[in-house]
Amino acid sequence: MDRQIRRLGFAFVAMFALLFAQVGYIQVFAAGRIAGEPANAARQIRAEYSVERGQILAADERTVLAESVKNPDPNSVYRFLRKYPGRELYGQLTGYYSRIYGFTGLEDAMNPYLSGTAPEFTAQNLTDILLGRPKVGGTVLTTIVPSLQRVARDALGNHQGAVVALDPGTGDVLAMYSKPGYDPNPLSTGTDEQINAAWKSLISDPERPLVSKAFQELYLPGSTFKLVTASAALENGWGPDKTWPNPHVLDLPQSSSTLQNFGNELCPPGGPATVAMAQAFTSSCNVTFGQIGLRLGADKLSTQAHRYGFCPILPPSQITCAAPTIPFILPWNSGRFPEAGYFNQNLPKVALSAVGLDNDKQNPLQLALESASIANGGLMYAPRLVTEVRDSTGRTIKLFDKQEYGHPISVHTADQMRQMMISVVASGTGTAAQIPGTTVAGKTGTATNCGPVPNCNVPPNAWFTAFAPAGSGQTPTIAVAVIVLDGGNLGSEATGGLVAAPIAKQVIQAYLKG
């Protein structure tokens, strides 16, 4: 009799084990496949909104960028609503979580962790099922410094453009703000009619607020590309003191075209017969750097650009990159520069590319990475926006370590570049970025906004990049890149030194003050 009872007991245990295994398989391992069935779409959306999705936090671990709150309507099929307390301040980073339009930004990139479906949550999910506890997503901790993000927004003011600030020693994104931005809340809460109206308003806006000017749009870099050209010259043995002829204009070979300095002026002022590269860099002389580009040739110039992370392209058939060269957690457009074959003995294009024209393209994130690698002794880190994920108990379940991208330049070249960039701010085109008591290294840029249209009346885009503290023996802790579109409030009179440099100064100054 006892043997029969034991057998019956074992049978019940086995059946319960199979039952729990099946439930666990369906709710954990097969959940994605089942949810993908078209008939389950509406049910899946309701199921997602029954889970308390995890928070997205700033680096201070207190400032909430995104969170789920209980729906005040007890009759709604959506138990939780997604809220964004910072509204447009972080909108292009968090993205939106919408029951109609899906999700973007960190909501998309970190969805398995925020929703609690990542493999790291398997044990917790099984325990929750057995104990009947509600499912709770993980908390995502970012690198964003809230006070610096606000400074970046305020410094831009009414200008359209973007600011990116990085930690050169880690690649951490300290601030990344683009104007115009957007508030994700109307896409995530409200009636279907309200959500659809908000979407239509955003996608019909000609200023494209859903697309970040900090890391998704691409623009001609103008004279900020001289960072690349100067690096190539130094890497190939031409020192800062090497002198170059200094004509008023550069007659481009194989054509009747010429390359002029900014404003068609002598550069540097006074127009000496020859000019050292360091002096030409300080005054941002196009004629000199056009000559340097021609002497370097397409191979060396392209090689250096690609080492800095510019994506190789071969226009005109290929004008975009299949994937960014430098990894980033959000979808972004890394800078692009043609392969050497594009130039195909077309020397005028080599000269134009050396000063940031023709088919060169970048955005502030790309430029900030260049400055950060120079500040960091030639070592570039990939940009990092997320540092870790924690479960509902506060336990760290996933770490995102800093990631080396490579060494675009040597330590010696980085030191030479640092000295030339210091001169730009001390006595050159970037004096508006000077900070009393702090050595700042920078580079200005003013880029045509005309595209292939010659002599158009569209105001230029103004660029500036810098890092600090840059004095001898100091370790730079912040690198910044700024773009102001269409000349800002100066219109056609705008330059990077006049419009963008003061913005970078405010961001650097605020960060160094803590």
DSSP 125-166: HHHHHHHTPPPB-PEEEE---HHHHHHHHHHHTT--EEEEEE
Span 427-436, average pLDDT: 97
Q: How many CB atoms neighbour CB 464 within 10 A?
A: 34
Which residues are 484's β-sheet partners? 161, 462
Helices (H), 330-478: 340-343, 347-354, 364-375, 411-427
Predicted pLDDT of residue 40: 45
Distances (CA, A) of 410 to 61, 231, 307, 357, 443: 37, 9, 11, 26, 19
- CB 239, CB 421: distance < 8 Å: no
Higher pLDDT, 393 or 238: 238
CATH topology of domain 222-385+406-512: Beta-lactamase (3.40.710)
In angstroms, the CA 45 to CA 35 distance is 9
CA atoms within a 13 Å half-sphere pointing along the CA-CB vector of 456: 12
Predicted pLDDT of residue 28: 53
Predicted pLDDT of residue 102: 94
Report the C-alpha dihedral over residues 281, 481, 375, 339, rounded to 10 degrees: -70
Angle (deg, nearest 10), helices 226-235 and 411-427: 140
Whether omega for the bond prior to residue 209 falls within 30 degrees of 0, making it cis, is: no
- pLDDT-derived band at 248, boundaries 50, 70, 90: confident
Q: Check 68, 178, 212, 223 and give the catalytic one.
A: 223
pLDDT tens profile 159-206: 999 999 999 999 999 999 999 999 999 999 999 999 999 999 999 999
The reported pTM is: 0.90
Three-state secondary structure call for residue 67 = strand
Which residues are 465's β-sheet partners? 443, 481
Distances (CA, A) of 128 to 17, 68, 131, 159, 476: 16, 19, 5, 50, 47
pLDDT tens profile 338-347: 999 999 879 9
Return the amino acid letter for 351. Answer: A
In angstroms, the CA 5 to CA 353 distance is 86
- pLDDT-derived band at 74, boundaries 50, 70, 90: confident
Residue recorded with tokens 């100064």: 505
Q: How many CB atoms neighbour CB 201 within 10 A?
A: 12
**Among 86-100, 122-136, 451-465, which is the least confidently predicted range?**
122-136
How many residues are listed for the chain in this entry? 514
pLDDT tens profile 256-309: 899 999 888 889 888 789 999 999 999 999 999 999 999 999 999 999 999 999
What token pair was written down for 17?
Answer: 């084990």
pLDDT tens profile 377-391: 999 999 999 999 999
User: What's the whole-number average pLDDT of the chain?
Assistant: 90
Predicted pLDDT of residue 52: 87
Higher pLDDT, 220 or 452: 220
Percent of the chain with pLDDT over 70: 88
Domain boundaries in the chain? Answer: 222-385+406-512
Closest of 316, 319, 314, 320 to residue 332, by C-alpha: 320
Closest of 43, 27, 53, 12 to residue 129, by C-alpha: 27
- CB 480, CB 364: distance < 8 Å: no
Residue 212 is a catalytic residue = no
Give exposure, 327-358, as e/b (b: 16+ Cβ within 10 Å): ebbbebbbbbbbbbebbeebbbbbbbbbbbbb
149-155: Cβ within 8 A, 24+ apart? 149/58, 149/89, 149/90, 149/175, 149/176, 149/177, 150/89, 151/175, 151/506, 151/507, 151/510, 151/511, 152/176, 152/177, 152/507, 153/89, 153/177, 153/179, 154/506, 155/502, 155/503, 155/506, 155/507
Predicted pLDDT of residue 263: 80
